[in-house]
């Protein structure tokens, strides 16, 4: 019995010692590869519009700067083949909202004055451009992108209200938006669809006019939104998007493709019956490069899975040689549904 | 292939009979329990020809007609010496008595069993159950899988996990057999404990390479665990009461020397201990907890010396549960949530001795694993007229795998120099990758009524295999185990087949030193789909090879040397190189929780390579036993461009250095001490190295569009490109024995992580608040490491009758 008491005391003492709070979480020093003065170029080039670039310095992941540093003294050269079309320098100052994630804290939105680099050169469909960006103390970076041709929409229409049963079995009423488009058999093509609503509102008391623009959320059971594979798959659940949804032509290469988007009837109600407002639905169909598609997919996936311990970490695609970011062309058709 | 078969049959019939020979055959048993002894040694002291008992304790030894001096021995037992006049075929069962006075009658390893340098099999280790039970146990739970983790070539995964990662392979690549039946999920409590109750286990063997042809279906290892058969001499029982669980085992004869049984059960009681605290914290409204239980049962009946029937089963289950009731007058809300998973295996085997040289068994097997989760609630409220109305919701998820199988196996021993095994089997797999159920109803709103099941298609597949292998001595120095394993898999409209050659050989350089080499091809028709998580989650899905996802394949070559030193010590050094094809992994960003997407669209196929060297110095007999193991290894994976941009990257459990030292010392027949120390290079993890602003997308009216997500982009240099801190830990244990009038009493006292090393379990990015030099509050970005087990004391009380 005496030895039992000693053993019990030993066990309790050890348990007490083992439960010290500072044992379980420790700040650790990590030796990660250093990122020295690496340029980031972000540029989505729209057909028939000037080039627009943002230039940053990438920061190390544990750097305590809230945001990456803006590069204010860079130079960007735009080439078509061997021909230098333009040398772009900082041109515009704009106010932008930047979303910054502090680990395990709420996202902080900073409104900053930012310098952008705007060209006078207009991006033309069917042409391929190379850019070379440089700044003092940085290794120069390069990237190449084509400007795709405009997509071809054959028909576009909306249905009357339809009843749908969703993944969980719930019944709901939706408006069907159907788009029929053509695809080139000779190329691997990438597209996006973007729905937004624009509302014009007149204040009944002051007569002031306002307009609001909002992304529209929608869903689709079409496999083009759910699969990056070439084989059609059974899709149980609708793909759900707010804003832009990208897809490729793996499932309809060279064919006329008709697909349907399901939109809440809410977006078609005229601002809850407010007589002083008018709402329009805007449909953008974009034709993009593969680089745009890969960047959009990977960047969205990384954002979506940030902090999810069960998901595999996502490497965001970049086509900037010797740096980070994206340089990609798009070509778009916009249609307004009244 | 053709030449190999011709050579094989030449060897089979090469036996020339210069002198009349007879066969002595039978069983080798434990004298006190009648338990068959696996791998016991029997040899003729005159000719030095001998053999070992098979997995059912059966031996067959053909010797020239003469008077023979047989020596029968097994580790932990007193040997038998018996002179026999061999003038006809003869059946004889040997009963070995347990060696209770180790210091007086010390059996040398040489006499006890075939020594390491003599075996043609390489990359194989067996640990006696007595040693496993003596090692320090995590929270007092003796665990056979954790003992195997201390061997070279075996990684344990994360802290305290009972996962097995053998020679760079994944946890799905281990063929874990319980009485010959595959067990799919061999762990409880997210991998902290294995499902094997040590009190019901008779033997454990691990094969890491040079696989004999009789095994197939997995790439990286075979863990062959045999349950006890039950004492057929007298009734006995053992009780173990530990910190988190208790075990009770009962065994005995139903008909003495004819029929015996063993029943063994285990249950944890963390939930029962925590229940009062949870009730108090929830003011009596909540109940929750976790427990697991196991139950093993086996019965065997001897119809005659030639026929024996075994029936065994294992069932085990983990369960998390939570429920809460809230009452407010007439209104009552009730919430329930549960998560459960478990295995069930069953086996019926008929042993038959066809001739003294031919032993066969026919086996029917069943194995299943399932996972289910439920979430339900019932809420009540008053309607406009003051009546109580209820809303009910129930959601559930189920997945699993079920196998039915049959096989027939033969052991044929034409001469002491040759041991042939052949057989065939077929298994029907039913894969249920996932079914979600939803029920919804409301008293108030008639329209809301839902009862639906959404399920991935159940897949049925047939797997078949056949094998032949020959363990043959060629001359006095060379011994070869050569064989061929055929397997086929029929799923949907696909039929996969493969012929897998296997060969291993040893060449005696000196009487105590041998060189060994082996080559094995393996094929595996099932995959385990799992995420990168520190825990062994029960949600990992078993899925079959399909038309789109091909079967896994491996090729492994190994070479090494084995030496017995001073008759007590065994030393082995091995190098290996293994390639693996058609491995699968979740795509970047994909996870089990992506609802509504076919699993085949969430994975990429790729390849892997693993290579390294292993060193094992072992002492199995004497007062001090144990081993020192060291592994130097590399393990990499490479998939298409959708994972890590197509670049090769280290496997999650790639571990450059791994050291394990296990020691057991018995001071006398009352006190025993044990310790193990492990060291491993830190596990590979994926950490970002840089961040930069995300590109922005505006539409043609400069309206911001959510095209690329929010926040900075994090740049990862490579998947698994960073190492967590090195892992090391010392465990210490003491056992105090006392003989009682009937049976024995044993106290175990143990300490896990004796020096309370902060070993990394996982890491995460965090923000730390601090004040700068001006006293302003600021945040800085840091990485934090989570450690889960400091020094943990444990005890258990064991009593046997």
Residues 453-472 of B with CB under 8 A from A: 454
Give me the pLDDT at residue A233, please. Answer: 35
How many angstroms separate the CA atoms of B90 and B111, rounded?
A: 23
The token pair at B681 is 């290079």
Tens of pLDDT, residues B413-435: 888 888 999 999 999 999 887 66
Residues A149, A150, A153, A154: what is their CA dihedral angle, to the nearest 10 degrees? -60
More confident residue, B192 or B467: B467
- Is the Cβ of B235 closer than 8 Å to some Cβ of chain A? no
**A62/B792 CB distance under 8 A:** no
> Which residues on B lie below 8 Å from A54 (Cβ)?
693, 695-696
Mean pLDDT rounded to a whole number for chain B: 84
Q: Is the pLDDT score of B231 beyond 80?
A: yes
Range of weakest confidence among B325-329, B497-501, B530-534, B562-566: B530-534
Contact B320, B290 (CB under 8 A): yes
User: pLDDT class for A9, splitting at 50, 70, 90?
Assistant: low
Chain A's closest residue to B794, CA to CA, is A11
User: pLDDT class for A147, splitting at 50, 70, 90?
Assistant: very high
Chain A's closest residue to B720, CA to CA, is A313
**B548/A231 CB distance under 8 A:** yes
- Is the Cβ of B695 closer than 8 Å to some Cβ of chain A? yes
Name which of B645, B689, B712 is nearest A101 (Cβ-Cβ): B712
Contact B270, B278 (CB under 8 A): no
Closest Cα to residue B623, out of B60, B232, B104, B85? B104
Q: For the structural domain made of B124-494+516-766+787-800, what CATH number should be given?
A: 2.40.170.20
What would the mean pLDDT of A88-104 be, rounded to a whole number?
A: 69
* CA distances (Å), origin A111, targets A58, A95, B6, B410, B721: 19, 6, 80, 78, 35
User: pLDDT class for A230, splitting at 50, 70, 90?
Assistant: very low
Q: Is the pLDDT score of B400 beyond 50?
A: yes
**What architecture does CATH give domain A39-146?**
Sandwich (2.60)
User: pLDDT class for A109, splitting at 50, 70, 90?
Assistant: low
How many angstroms separate the CA atoms of B674 and B651, rounded?
A: 33
B598, B707, B788, best to mutate vs chain A, most A CBs in 10 Å: B707
Tens of pLDDT, residues B583-609: 988 887 666 555 555 677 778 899 999
Range of weakest confidence among A19-33, B96-110, B327-341, B637-651: B96-110
Tens of pLDDT, residues B136-187: 888 777 888 888 888 999 988 777 676 788 999 988 899 999 988 999 888 8
Tens of pLDDT, residues B713-765: 999 888 888 888 999 999 999 999 888 888 889 888 888 888 988 888 888 88
Name the strand (E) or helix (H) holding B423: strand B418-442
**B597/A237 CB distance under 8 A:** yes
> Model-level pTM?
0.80
What would the mean pLDDT of A107-125 be, rounded to a whole number?
A: 80
Q: Is the pLDDT score of A229 beyond 50?
A: no
Q: Is the pLDDT score of B531 beyond 90?
A: no
Taking only Cα atoms into account, the Rg of chain A, rounded to an integer number of angstroms, comes to: 26
Name which of A56, A61, A100 is nearest B711 (Cβ-Cβ): A100
Range of weakest confidence among A244-253, B539-548, B583-592: B583-592
Phi, then psi, of B19 in degrees rounded to 5: -145, 150
What would the mean pLDDT of B373-392 be, rounded to a whole number?
A: 81
Chain A's closest residue to B533, CA to CA, is A310
Give me the pLDDT at residue A100, please. Answer: 59
How many angstroms separate the CA atoms of A195 and B547, rounded?
A: 38
> Which residues on A lie below 8 Å from B449 (Cβ)?
none
> Which residues on A lie below 8 Å from B700 (Cβ)?
46, 284, 332, 334
Contact B255, B244 (CB under 8 A): no
What would the mean pLDDT of A197-224 be, rounded to a whole number?
A: 79
A310, A319, A327, best to mutate vs chain B, most B CBs in 10 Å: A310
Q: Is the pLDDT score of B322 beyond 90?
A: no
Numbered ranges of CATH 2.40.170.20 in chain B: 124-494+516-766+787-800
Chain B's closest residue to A31, CA to CA, is B722
Q: What is the DSSP secondary-structure string of B356-410?
A: TTEEEEEEEEEEEEEEEEEEEEEEEEE-TTS-EEEEEEEEEEEEEEEEEEEEEEE
**A171/B760 CB distance under 8 A:** no
Collapsing DSSP to helix, strand or coil, B590 comes out as coil
ipTM metric? 0.86
Beta bridge partners of B550: none
User: pLDDT class for B537, splitting at 50, 70, 90?
Assistant: low
How many angstroms separate the CA atoms of A63 and A32, rounded?
A: 12
> Which residues on A lie below 8 Å from B592 (Cβ)?
310
Tens of pLDDT, residues B264-317: 999 988 777 777 766 676 666 777 788 889 999 999 998 988 899 999 999 999
Residues 761-790 of B with CB under 8 A from A: 762-768, 778-788, 790
CATH class belonging to B12-112: mainly beta
Cβ-based neighbour number of residue B160 at 10 Å? 23
**B689/A60 CB distance under 8 A:** yes
Numbered ranges of CATH 2.60.40.1120 in chain B: 12-112
Numbered ranges of CATH 2.60.40 in chain A: 39-146
Name which of B590, B696, B756 is nearest A311 (Cβ-Cβ): B590
């Amino acid at each position: 019995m005496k030895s039992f008491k000693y053993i019990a005391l030993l066990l309790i003492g050890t348990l007490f010692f083992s439960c010290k709070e500072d044992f379980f979480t420790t700040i650790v020093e990590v030796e990660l590869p250093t990122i020295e003065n690496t340029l980031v170029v972000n540029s989505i080039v729209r057909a028939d519009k000037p080039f627009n670039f943002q230039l940053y310095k990438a920061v190390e992941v544990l750097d305590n700067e809230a945001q990456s540093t803006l590069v204010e003294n860079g130079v960007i050269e735009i080439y078509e083949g061997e021909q230098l079309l333009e040398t772009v320098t900082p041109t515009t100052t704009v106010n932008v909202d930047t979303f910054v994630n502090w680990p395990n804290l709420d996202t902080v939105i900073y409104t900053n004055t930012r310098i952008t680099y705007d060209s006078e050169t207009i991006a033309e469909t069917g042409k391929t451009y190379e850019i070379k960006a440089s700044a003092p103390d940085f290794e120069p970076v390069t990237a190449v992108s084509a400007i795709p041709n405009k997509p071809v929409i054959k028909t576009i229409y909306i249905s009357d209200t339809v009843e749908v049963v969703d993944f969980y079995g719930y019944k709901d009423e939706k408006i069907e938006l159907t788009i029929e488009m053509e695809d080139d058999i000779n190329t691997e093509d990438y597209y996006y669809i973007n729905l937004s609503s624009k509302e014009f509102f007149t204040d009944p008391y002051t007569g002031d006019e306002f307009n609001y623009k909002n992304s529209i959320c929608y869903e689709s059971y079409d496999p083009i939104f759910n699969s990056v594979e070439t084989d059609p798959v059974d899709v149980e659940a609708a793909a759900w998007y707010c804003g832009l949804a990208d897809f490729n032509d793996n499932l309809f290469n060279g064919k006329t493709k008709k697909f349907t988007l399901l939109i809440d009837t809410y977006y078609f109600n005229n601002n809850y019956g407010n007589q002083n407002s008018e709402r329009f639905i805007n449909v953008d169909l974009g034709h993009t490069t593969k680089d745009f598609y890969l960047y959009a997919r990977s960047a969205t996936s990384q954002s979506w899975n940030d902090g999810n311990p069960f998901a595999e970490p996502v490497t965001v695609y970049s086509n900037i040689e010797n740096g980070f970011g994206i340089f990609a062309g798009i070509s778009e058709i916009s249609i307004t549904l009244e | 292939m053709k030449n190999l078969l011709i050579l094989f049959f030449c060897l089979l019939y090469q036996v020339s009979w210069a002198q009349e020979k007879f066969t002595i055959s039978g069983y080798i048993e434990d004298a006190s329990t009648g338990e068959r002894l696996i791998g016991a040694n029997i040899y003729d002291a005159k000719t030095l020809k001998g053999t070992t008992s098979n997995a059912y304790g059966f031996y067959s030894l053909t010797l020239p007609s003469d008077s023979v001096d047989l020596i029968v021995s097994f580790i932990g037992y007193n040997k038998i010496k018996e002179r026999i006049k061999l003038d006809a075929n003869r059946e004889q069962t040997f009963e070995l008595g347990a060696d209770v006075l180790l210091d007086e009658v010390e059996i040398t390893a040489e006499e006890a069993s075939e020594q390491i340098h003599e075996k043609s099999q390489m990359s194989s280790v067996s640990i006696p159950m007595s040693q496993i039970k003596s090692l320090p146990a995590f929270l007092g739970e003796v665990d056979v899988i954790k003992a195997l983790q201390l061997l070279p070539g075996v990684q344990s995964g994360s802290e305290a996990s009972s996962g097995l990662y053998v020679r760079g392979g994944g946890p799905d690549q281990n063929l874990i057999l319980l009485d010959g039946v595959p067990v799919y999920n061999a762990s409880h409590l997210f991998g902290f404990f294995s499902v094997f109750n040590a009190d019901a286990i008779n033997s454990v063997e691990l094969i890491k390479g040079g696989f004999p042809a009789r095994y197939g279906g997995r790439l990286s290892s075979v863990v062959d665990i045999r349950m006890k058969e039950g004492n057929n001499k007298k009734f006995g029982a053992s009780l173990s009461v530990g910190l988190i669980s208790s075990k009770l085992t009962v065994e005995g004869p139903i008909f003495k020397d004819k029929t015996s049984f063993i029943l063994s059960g285990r249950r944890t009681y963390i939930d029962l201990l925590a229940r009062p605290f949870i009730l108090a914290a929830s003011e009596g409204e909540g109940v929750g907890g976790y427990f697991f239980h196991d139950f093993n049962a086996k019965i065997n009946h001897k119809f005659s010396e030639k026929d024996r029937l075994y029936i065994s089963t294992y069932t085990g289950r983990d369960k998390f549960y939570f429920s809460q009731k809230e009452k407010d007058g007439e209104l009552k809300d009730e919430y329930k949530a549960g998560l459960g998973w478990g295995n069930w295996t069953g086996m019926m085997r008929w042993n038959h001795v066809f001739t003294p040289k031919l032993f066969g068994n026919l086996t029917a097997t069943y194995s299943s694993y399932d996972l289910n989760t439920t979430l339900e609630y019932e809420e009540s409220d008053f309607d406009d007229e003051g009546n109580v109305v209820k809303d009910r919701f129930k959601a559930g998820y189920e997945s699993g795998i079920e196998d039915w199988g049959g096989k027939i196996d033969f052991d044929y021993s034409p001469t002491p120099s040759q041991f042939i095994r052949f057989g065939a089997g077929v298994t029907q797999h039913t894969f249920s990758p996932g079914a979600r159920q939803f029920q919804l109803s409301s008293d108030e709103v008639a329209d809301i009524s839902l009862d639906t099941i959404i399920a991935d298609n159940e897949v049925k597949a047939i797997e078949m295999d056949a094998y032949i292998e020959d363990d043959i001595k060629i001359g006095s120095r060379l011994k070869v185990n050569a064989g061929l394993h055929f397997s086929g898999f029929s799923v949907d409209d696909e039929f996969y087949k493969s012929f897998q050659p296997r060969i291993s050989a040893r060449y005696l350089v000196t009487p105590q030193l041998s060189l060994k080499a082996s080559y094995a091809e393996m094929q595996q028709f099932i995959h385990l789909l799992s995420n990168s998580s520190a825990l062994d989650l029960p949600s990992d899905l078993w899925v079959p090879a399909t038309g789109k996802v091909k079967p896994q394949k491996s090729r492994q070559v190994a070479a090494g040397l084995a030496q017995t030193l001073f008759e007590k010590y065994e030393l082995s050094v091995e190098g290996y190189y293994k390639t693996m094809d058609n491995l699968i992994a979740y795509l970047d960003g994909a996870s089990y929780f992506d609802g509504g997407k076919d699993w085949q669209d969430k994975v990429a196929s790729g390849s892997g390579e693993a290579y390294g060297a292993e060193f094992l110095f072992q002492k199995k007999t004497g007062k001090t036993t144990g081993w020192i193991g060291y592994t130097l290894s590399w393990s990499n994976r490479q998939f298409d461009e959708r994972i890590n941009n197509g670049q090769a990257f280290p496997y999650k459990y790639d571990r450059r250095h791994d050291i394990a030292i296990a020691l057991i010392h018995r001071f006398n027949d009352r006190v025993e001490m044990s310790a193990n120390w492990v060291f491993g290079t830190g596990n590979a993890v994926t950490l970002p190295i840089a961040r930069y602003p995300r590109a922005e997308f505006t539409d043609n009216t400069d309206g911001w569009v959510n095209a690329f997500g929010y926040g900075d982009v994090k740049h990862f240099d490579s998947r698994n490109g960073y190492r967590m801190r090195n892992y090391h830990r010392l465990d210490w244990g003491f056992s105090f024995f006392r003989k009682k009038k009937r049976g024995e009493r044993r106290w175990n006292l143990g300490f896990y992580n004796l020096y309370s090393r902060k070993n990394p379990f996982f890491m995460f990015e965090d923000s730390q608040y601090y004040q700068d030099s001006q006293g302003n509050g600021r945040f800085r970005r840091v990485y934090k490491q989570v450690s889960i087990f400091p020094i943990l004391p444990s005890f258990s009380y064991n009593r046997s009758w």
